[in-house]
Chain A
Amino acid sequence: MNNLKIKKRLVQDKFMCWGVCLLATLTAIPLFAILGKVLLSGYDQLSWSFFTEPTPTAYKAMKAIEAGEPIPGGIANGIIGTMIMLGMAVVVAVPLGILCGAFLAENSKTRFAQFVSYLTDLLQGTPSVIIGIITYVWVVVPMKGYSAIAGSVALCIMMLPLIVRSTEETLKILPASLKEAGLALGGNKARVMMKVQLPSAFGGIFTGVLLAISRVIGETAPLMFTALGCSFVRFAVDKPISAVPLLIWEFFNDPNLQELIWGASLFLLLFVLLLNLLSKYIAKKWNQ
């Protein structure tokens, strides 16, 4: 009798275990399907010139398709544009976000901080297309033209809440003794923040920044209103500029260029994957 009960429990346990495994596999299927599709279709296009040459004209692409050759050119204009806009956005968003996060962590009980915290949540939930149209009104219209600057403003706004949150959360889980020990040595709040708290929180903050980058690198909608796109490699920040996600959208709309979609998608995916792995690695390294 007793034996039978134990057997029943063991069977239940096995059953649960298999059930959980099955469901976990089910959730992983879309991920692997996406990775597989993008890898298989995009792999052919990856070549040195794909990264170094700008987008071909539709005419050139058409000729190549007619001749049965691979489409010439690549996505260099998009990669450069993405990097320029991301770079500018990071330079502004990281210090601002960290300072705001530090403020929220230190003054979490004040009404103003609670208000800012609430706004941060709201900003995080704001659809990117709305951030795009707002940036259009704020930046593109006064500057009388689409530009890399406008694009980076939109990306910066999207990154801010993520950086603020990760900074705040990381600072809050630091032991209070760390801050008290710093203050007990006679440091003022600013110095203790800069020399003790922020360095101790570096791992979490850096991970937050990397995740923020990987979050906005694929944003298309806000760039349509701001960066517009450009078919050649350009470094000017006050002119329209291209970006990889914008290129994917352009390729989709041009029957002659559709072949290039997968290469560009693969590049984006790999980049995001790399950032995620890097952030995992750093978080692990820092926690040791």
Chain B
Amino acid sequence: MESVTPMLEFKKTCISYTKQTMAVKYVSAAIEKNTITAIMGPSGCGKSTLLRAVNLMHNLYPNIRVDGEILLNGENILAMEPIDVRRRVGMVFQRPAPFPTMSIYDNVLSGFALNGIKLSKAEKDAIVEHRLRSVSLWDEVKDVLNKKGTFLSGGQQQRLCIARALAMKPDVLLMDEPTSALDPIATKHIEELLLELQKEVTILIVTHNMGQAKRISSKSMFMYLGELVEYGDTEKLFTNPVDERTKAYLTGKMG
């Protein structure tokens, strides 16, 4: 047993869309600080549902129930204010969603604007440059910062969205299949970026792509029909899975 509090911990987390069926069943798992954890599994296994519970996205939809506990640094998220949680837990979506009416510059700072935080021009400039550099987008966009974010390519847009999430200095970054809408080169860029970013943020990434999980994550979860089937070191999970279902999925017999 470790003595340090994990960054994020699921304790018997259950999520249901309707009264009869559970989309996520009694998931328990602890996620360490500054790691990349991949959540894998076939479509409809509940991996996105589990991810979206971490920043309380389910609160937007009154019929969704989340039970059990999700601890962020030892604090139960489910009992916290969504606004507080979401400032500490950033999220990047499947489709790049830069705010269409805002410039690249304003997109990076949108988190501050949405939280009503006023910044001086110098602070703004510093944050924008720092964040765009950390997603290695700065050199590509430094001369067009006032253009709309939607002018960028898909991969650039997704990096802009990562920069936007990072600007709020979250403890945890949730990523819901962030590269599934991107081409292989853009995907490679993002993967390299994530490996770099885990130094400052704990990343939880849902992915369909087993190769991706293998390449970037240190720990992996395999979910099936709402259950967390297997959770452990990525290398071990891929080379020597314990559960038959994991084995079947990894060898392409299922999913």
In the complex, the answer to whether A180 meets B57 with C-beta atoms within 8 Å is yes
Answer whether residue B17 sits at the interface, using C-beta atoms and an 8 A cutoff.
Answer: no
B111 touches A177 (CB 8 A): no
Q: Is B110 part of the binding interface, using a Cβ–Cβ cutoff of 8 Å? A: yes
Q: Among the listed stretches B26-34, B96-104, B118-126, B127-135, which one makes contact with chain A, having 4 or more residues with CB under 8 Å of it?
A: B96-104
**A184-B90 in contact given A191-B114, A195-B113 (Cβ < 8 Å):** yes
Check B57–A183 contact: CB distance below 8 A: yes
Partner of A199, one of B87, B91, B101, B164: B101
* B180 CB to nearest chain A CB (Å): 13
In the assembled complex, the CB of A13 is this many whole angstroms from the nearest CB of chain B, namely 40
Find chain B residues with CB under 8 A from A191 CB: 113-116
User: Are B99 and A200 interface neighbours, CB within 8 A?
Assistant: yes
| 8 Å CB interface, A143-182 against B | 175, 177-178, 180-182
A183 contacts across to B, CB distance below 8 A: 57, 60, 82, 86
Contact call B60/A192, Cβ cutoff below 8 A: no
B165 proximity list for chain A (CB < 8 A): 184-185
Asked whether any CB of chain B lies closer than 8 Å to the CB of A196, the reply is: yes
Assess whether A202 is interfacial by the CB under 8 Å rule: yes
Q: What distance in Å separates the Cβ of B227 from its nearest Cβ neighbour in chain A?
A: 26
Q: Is the beta-carbon distance between B101 and A187 smaller than 8 angstroms?
A: no
Q: Is the CB of B99 within 8 A of A182?
A: yes
In the complex, whether B168 has a CB less than 8 A from a CB of chain A is yes
**A142 interface residue per 8 A CB criterion:** no
Interface assignment of A188: CB less than 8 Å from any CB of chain B:
yes
A136 vs B117: C-alpha distance in the bound complex, in angstroms? 48
Set of chain B residues within 8 Å of A187, measured between Cβ atoms: 83, 111, 114-115
* Smallest beta-carbon distance B130→chain A, Å: 17
| Min C-beta distance of B59 to chain A, whole Å | 9
Knowing A177-B95, A192-B114, A195-B113 are in contact, say whether A184-B100 is a contact too (CB < 8 A): no
Q: Is the CB of A184 within 8 A of B91?
A: yes
| Complex: A183 Cα to B165 Cα, angstroms | 11
In this complex, the interface size class of chain B, counting residues with CB under 8 Å from chain A, is 20 to 34
- Cβ contact within 8 Å between A200 and B101: yes
A49 to chain B, nearest CB (A): 45
| A30 interfacial contact with B, CB 8 Å | no
CB of B146 to closest CB in A, whole Å = 16
Q: Once the chains bind, are A178 and B86 in contact (CB under 8 Å)?
A: no
User: What separation, in Å, do the CA atoms of A69 and B87 have in the docked complex?
Assistant: 76
* The one of B57, B101, B102, B116 that contacts A184, using a Cβ cutoff of 8 Å: B57
Closest CB-CB distance, A207 to chain B, in whole Å? Answer: 16
| In the complex, chain B residues whose CB is within 8 Å of the CB of A178 | 97, 99-100
Contact status A185-B168, CB under 8 Å: yes
Q: Is A125 an interface residue (CB 8 A)?
A: no
How far in angstroms is the closest Cβ of chain A from B234?
Answer: 26
Q: Measured between C-beta atoms, what is the minimum distance from A186 to chain B in Å?
A: 4
Interface residues in B166-181 (C-beta closer than 8 Å to A): 168
A196 cross-chain contacts in B, Cβ below 8 A: 99, 101, 110, 114
Within 8 A of B (CB), among A96-155: none
Query: Which residue from A180, A185, A188, A199 sits with its C-beta under 8 Å from B90?
Result: A185
Mask: chain B, 215-242; 1 = CB below 8 Å from A; 0 = not: 0000000000000000000000000000
B161 interface residue (CB < 8 Å to A): yes
A28 vs B123: C-alpha distance in the bound complex, in angstroms? Answer: 59
Residue of A with least CB distance to B82: A183
| Residues of chain A lying within 8 A (CB to CB) of residue B93 | 177, 180-181, 184
Contact A185–B97 (Cβ < 8 Å): no
Complex Cα distance, B60 from A202, in Å, reads 24
Bound-state CA distance A141–B216 (Å) is 75
Residues of A near B83 (CB, < 8 A) are: 186-188
Contact B60–A180 (Cβ < 8 Å): yes
CB neighbours of B95 from chain A (8 A): 175, 177
Q: Does B156 contact A (CB under 8 A)?
A: no
Residues in A45-62 with C-beta less than 8 Å from chain B = none
Q: Mark B154-196, 1 if CB is under 8 A from A, else 0.
A: 0000000100110010000000000000000000000000000
- Residues in chain B near residue A199, CB distance under 8 A: 99, 101-102
Interface status of B202 (Cβ within 8 A of chain A): no
Distance between Cα atoms of A202 and B161 in the complex (Å)? 22
Closest Cβ neighbor of A199 among chain B residues: B101
A195, B100: Cβ atoms under 8 Å? no
Does B55 make an interface contact (CB < 8 A)? yes
Chain A residues with Cβ below 8 Å from B168 are: 185-186
CA distance A120 to B110 in the complex (A): 34
Contact in complex: A186, B114 (CB < 8 Å): yes
Contact B99 A181 (CB under 8 A): yes
A185 contacts which of B57, B84, B164 (Cβ < 8 Å)? B164
A-B contact pairs, 5 of them (CB 8 A): A177-B93, A183-B82, A184-B57, A185-B87, A200-B101
Identify the A interface with B (CB < 8 A): 175, 177-178, 180-188, 191-192, 195-196, 199-200, 202
Cβ-closest 8 pairs across A and B: A187-B114, A186-B87, A184-B91, A199-B101, A185-B111, A186-B86, A177-B97, A181-B97
